[in-house]
Chains A and B, each alone.
Chain A
Amino acid sequence: RKEVEQDPGPFNVPEGATVAFNCTYSNSASQSFFWYRQDCRKEPKLLMSVYSSGNEDGRFTAQLNRASQYISLLIRDSKLSDSATYLCVVNKHQAGTALIFGKGTTLSVSS
């Protein structure tokens, strides 16, 4: 099983749509979880951290299910500017260690 697995997509959605991405991770000892966003030919940038209780930032909602080792990202009211690759990211055992990146899910929002 890969350390972090994501559906590569692409997800092609119209503006205003709601879209959800899923991710699974293999290391049950992982403690920190993130969604990063990467635009074409750019460096990854943190979108949001993922907490056990779930968290929301505007149109974005992230959820973590530790029992199933599953992370999700929900984007509501998609904008053209949301078009990017979304990377599911997991730390190894504790904060400060290397991040393990999924290969990303590509989202394309069209008008």
Chain B
Amino acid sequence: GAGVSQSPSNKVTEKGKDVELRCDPISGHTALYWYRQSLGQGLEFLIYFQGNSAPDKSGLPSDRFSAERTGGSVSTLTIQRTQQEDSAVYLCASSWTAEQFFGPGTRLTVL
């Protein structure tokens, strides 16, 4: 069956621009997570959606970062006024139980 998909796979943007990253979770998975991974670093938790509950935003690094999950399915991560330190791979994962399934990620480069 289809796994988690993310788009775009690569995004190059200029400092100060806004970007939107999309995640399509596995159908039926109630939980959706966003992480980012900088070069040579571990995964950093950003935000977590579970069903209709209020999202856990505790990992968002600044108010330039926000995310939505519409209809309990697709999610969009928005980064406003991008900075060079935002350059990373942004990974989305979804789950039904404790096991999380990851998408291929979006590689964001801020020039």
Contact = CB atoms under 8 A, between A and B. Distances in A.
Interface of A: 32, 34, 42-46, 49, 87, 91, 95-104
Nearest to B104: A43
Nearest to A46: B99
Contact of A43 (B31, B41, B42, B105): B105
B102 interface: yes
B99 A43 contact: no
Nearest to A2: B42
Most buried by A among B33, B97, B99: B99
Q: Which secondary structure dominates where chain A touches chain B? A: loop
B59 A87 contact: no
Given A98-B45, A99-B43, 5 more contacts: A34-B99, A43-B104, A44-B43, A99-B93, A103-B41
Contacts of A99: 33, 43, 45, 93, 100
B98 interface: yes
A97 B31 CA distance: 9
Contact of A96 (B42, B50, B101, B103): B50
